[in-house]
């Protein structure tokens, strides 16, 4: 969802509540200046954040051993 800074100033609580469901992009003079997003971190959101970081052929046991070596 995209809103203007003026809209945010008028009803900040409304957009804070909506941020639980979707990201809110705030614009000033038609240009994006901020994003309001939920502070809640669910498992699905964490998995999406990690997508692409781990190699496809990762072996969890060897990764665990490498991590515990040091």
For residues 47 and 69, the model is more confident at: 69
**What is the structure's pLDDT at 54?**
65
pTM, entire model: 0.56
CATH code for position 38? 3.40.1620
Single out the residue of 17, 19, 49 nearest to residue 36, CA to CA. Answer: 19
Contacts of 31 (CB under 8 A, 6+ apart): none
Q: Domain count of the chain?
A: 1
Range of 17's domain?
A: 2-69
Q: Which tens digits make up the pLDDT trace of 3-55? A: 999 999 999 999 999 998 899 999 999 999 999 988 776 666 667 667 766 66
For residues 54 and 64, the model is more confident at: 64
Question: In Å, how far are 14, 39, 46, 51 from 10, measured between CA atoms?
Answer: 9, 22, 33, 37
Largest CA-CA distance found in the chain, in angstroms, rounded:
55
């Amino acid at each position: 969802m995209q809103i203007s800074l003026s809209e945010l100033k008028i009803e900040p609580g409304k957009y804070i509540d909506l941020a639980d469901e979707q990201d809110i992009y705030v614009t000033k003079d038609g240009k994006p200046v901020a994003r309001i997003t939920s502070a809640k971190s669910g498992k699905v959101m964490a998995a999406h954040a990690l997508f692409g970081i781990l190699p496809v052929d990762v072996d969890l046991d060897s990764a665990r051993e490498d991590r515990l070596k040091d």
